[in-house]
Amino acid sequence: MPKKKSTLKISKAKAQTIKAQAILPGVAASPGIAIGKAFLLAEDHGKAEAPTIAEAQIPVEIEKLKKALDKTREEVRRDGFYTENKLGKEQAEIFDYHRMMLEDQYFIADVIAVIRQQRRSAAYAFAEYLDQYAEQFKQKDKVFRERIADVHDIKRRVLRHLRGETWPLSNLPAEARIVVAHELTPSLTLSLNRQKITACAADLGGKTSHAALLMRSYGIPAVVGLHNIAGTIKNGDRLIVDGYQGRVLINPDRATLAHYQAEQNKHAAKTKKLAQLRALPAETLDQHHVELAANVEFAEEVDAVMVSGAAGIGLLRTEYLYLGRADLPGEEEQYREYHRIAVAVAPQPVIIRTMDLGADKCPQCIDIPAEANPMLGWRAIRISLEKTDIFIAQIKAILRANTQGNVRLLLPMISSIDELEKALEVIEQAKRKLEQAGQVFAPDTEIGVMIEVPSAALLAEAIAERVDFFSIGTNDLVQYLLAVDRGNDRIAHLYANLNPAVLRLIKNVIDAAHRYGVWVGMCGEMAADRLVTALLVGMGIDELSVSPIDVPEIKKIIRGTDYREAKKLARQALAFSTTREIREFMQQYMQPRFKDIIL
């Protein structure tokens, strides 16, 4: 049993209560606690059958290799598409690397040369070649070392096809299991999501490995970096995977089991308690109502919205319909998708944002050239106004989908009145086309603008005169206002929602909109920042739209807030001139009131 000094951040008192037979410290990759039996995935080292083959077998083996590569390419394409639709383009990027390798003609020619010249079986030649590849990566820098898991992944995929084997998980017992592997490769992780898995534990991997990110998105607890758990446990051993503290307990004794069952119950009770709020309105103590809606990034999330207790969808990011495919989604396909969602959510509203492609979301189906500053480049409404056919197809689909009267149309990245007027004119054109075609649609569908470019925030009154609602996109608004790239780790500390300039601008937008009788929502991540919920309510925000997972706690805060007090709080907060003062002020106000949420 490896004797490592635990790196766990637990109090001494708590540590003494845990007397497991063996505790393996690792890296907390995905939160949650699971107790159950282990299913050990046998490590496939790719050791081949007879290394040398008869001369006559050579063309057969080459053909086998080509077929296996074809099947693997198709499998990778499918997994990439699935991941992109479910989790977004960034998560799917790993599969681009897999595809690149599988399409590399030099690399394939090398393996074929080994089969021919050394008379090796396809499996042997392929496994040996990739082992050498991985070995070379070990000697290089971190970027290459992080690719080793991908090289192993490709090796296993191709070997499986060469041998006509199914996934090792096909032997998984019917009851739910904790999967223990030497390494969680991205493809393995993807296939896990479709099985009965309660948690994962692996020898290799770090917090930001692709597999860890995927586990978090799927909500499966996971601990990685355990060094030798796969060599330590046996199939069927009882395990506890603690994805909060980052450790695995093997065959725990009764006291430890009881401790973890209590922890599990505590977390479940917290979730259950919050679930009691599901049917209750997001209303302050003094009955001020705030719409609390949910953001949706891909179709499968609609179910999560329904159970979260959100009052509808405050932002449907439609980019998922365009990504991961070579052709454009047509009007009919979009209509069916939007209509399905609108019907599922009715009578609650669905705010459908027209596509915000470009920047970090570049689809294959629209040619978006590389740019020096893509975040400031050809993006969102700027593309739509040039590619009006694509824009009109989407608008028509949205207007037609509004059969329940609950659909609203939202325009992203508006930065001037000229641009807004052009977009409104295209919407009118789309309506005329629908009329001419005698199609059923809702001509009075509400139109809104994302306030996410500082110029739009400053032009709030002029915009409010022309539309029905606003949705403040703080993710972009903050990046453009503070000149801080929202995806750059190096300057992440400068990306401050609580910068007084951000708060003052938001307050001006809300007030300007209200002067024109226009309601204002917020769909950027700031809407889910627990520290500012009462402040936003006090500033007069009409709607907050957050990920389904954030809905219960935000609702709890709204329901525990006094609106009159929140208005005073907002006046005080807006008077500060530094981010630090505002943060401390909000912490002092929020922490004693919401102890279990704000730590």
Collect all residues with Cβ–Cβ distance below 8 Å to 412 and sequence separation of at least 6.
Answer: 353, 354, 355, 356, 380, 381, 450, 452, 473
**Given 349, 473, 521, 540, the residue binding ligand PEP (CB under 6 A):** 473
Q: How far is the CB of 395 from ligand PEP (least distance, A)?
A: 19
203 binds ligand PEP (CB under 6 A): no
Cα(308)–Cα(310) distance, integer angstroms: 6
Q: What is the DSSP string of 178-232?
A: EEEES---HHHHHHHHTS-EEEEEESS--TTSHHHHHHHHHT--EEE--SSHHHH
Nearer to ligand PEP, 415 or 475 (CB): 475
- Tokens 């007030």 belong to 511
Q: How far is the CB of 4 from ligand PEP (least distance, A)?
A: 40
**Given 75, 183, 476, 542, the residue binding ligand PEP (CB under 6 A):** 476
Report the alpha-carbon angle 143-80-61, nearest 5: 85
Q: Which of 536, 528, 534 is nearest to 503 (CA)?
A: 536
What the block records as the tokens of 277 is: 């709020």
75 binds ligand PEP (CB under 6 A): no
| Residues 206-245 as x/- pattern, contact with ligand PEP by CB under 6 A | ----------------------------------------
Residue 142: Cβ-neighbour burial (10 angstroms; 0-12, 13-18, 19+): exposed
Length of the chain: 599
543 binds ligand PEP (CB under 6 A): no
Q: How far is the CB of 355 from ligand PEP (least distance, A)?
A: 10
Q: How far is the CB of 471 from ligand PEP (least distance, A)?
A: 8
**Given 209, 256, 474, 561, the residue binding ligand PEP (CB under 6 A):** 474
**Given 25, 32, 314, 524, the residue binding ligand PEP (CB under 6 A):** 524
What the block records as the tokens of 95 is: 């599969």
Cα(180)–Cα(42) distance, integer angstroms: 9
- Sign, Cα dihedral of 422, 423, 425, 426: positive
473 binds Mg ion (CB under 5 A): yes
Of Mg ion, ligand PEP, none, which one sits near residue 524, judging by CB under 5 to 8 A according to partner kind? ligand PEP
Nearer to ligand PEP, 187 or 295 (CB): 295
Contact at 8 Å (CB) between 398 and 352? yes
210, 259, 288, 339: the catalytic one is 210
319 binds Mg ion (CB under 5 A): no
Collect all residues with Cβ–Cβ distance below 8 Å to 592 and sequence separation of at least 6.
Answer: none
Report the relative pairing of strands 222-224 and 27-30 from DSSP bridges: antiparallel
Residue 510: Cβ-neighbour burial (10 angstroms; 0-12, 13-18, 19+): buried
Q: How far is the CB of 358 from ligand PEP (least distance, A)?
A: 10
Strands (E), 473-589: 519-522, 543-546
- The overall longest dimension of the chain from CA atoms, in Å, is 87
314 binds Mg ion (CB under 5 A): no
Contact at 8 Å (CB) between 68 and 76? no
What the block records as the tokens of 479 is: 């990046």
Nearer to Mg ion, 75 or 476 (CB): 476
| Residues 429-458 as x/- pattern, contact with Mg ion by CB under 5 A | -----------------------x------
Q: How far is the CB of 92 from ligand PEP (least distance, A)?
A: 17
Q: How far is the CB of 527 from ligand PEP (least distance, A)?
A: 9
Tell me which residue has its CB nearest to Mg ion.
476
**Given 291, 419, 452, 542, the residue binding ligand PEP (CB under 6 A):** 452
523 binds ligand PEP (CB under 6 A): yes
Report the alpha-carbon angle 520-521-524, nearest 5: 135
Of Mg ion, ligand PEP, none, which one sits near residue 529, judging by CB under 5 to 8 A according to partner kind? none
Residue 362 annotated among the catalytic residues of the structure: no
Collect all residues with Cβ–Cβ distance below 8 Å to 599 and sequence separation of at least 6.
Answer: 591
- Tokens 């957050």 belong to 546
H/E element holding 242? strand 238-242
> Of residues 300-339, which lie at the interface with ligand PEP (CB under 6 A)?
315, 317
| Residues 512-551 as x/- pattern, contact with Mg ion by CB under 5 A | ----------------------------------------
Choose the stretch contacting ligand PEP; rule: CB under 6 A; options: 32-40, 174-182, 210-218, 472-480.
Answer: 472-480
Q: How far is the CB of 479 from ligand PEP (least distance, A)?
A: 8
Of ligand PEP, Mg ion, none, which one sits near residue 317, judging by CB under 5 to 8 A according to partner kind? ligand PEP
Q: How far is the CB of 475 from Mg ion (least distance, A)?
A: 5
Of ligand PEP, Mg ion, none, which one sits near residue 384, judging by CB under 5 to 8 A according to partner kind? none
| Residues 356-395 as x/- pattern, contact with ligand PEP by CB under 6 A | x---------------------------------------
Contact at 8 Å (CB) between 530 and 581? no
Q: Which residues are catalytic?
A: 210, 523
Question: Which residues contact Mg ion by CB under 5 A?
Answer: 452, 473, 476
Question: Which residues contact ligand PEP by CB under 6 A?
Answer: 315, 317, 356, 452, 473-476, 523-524
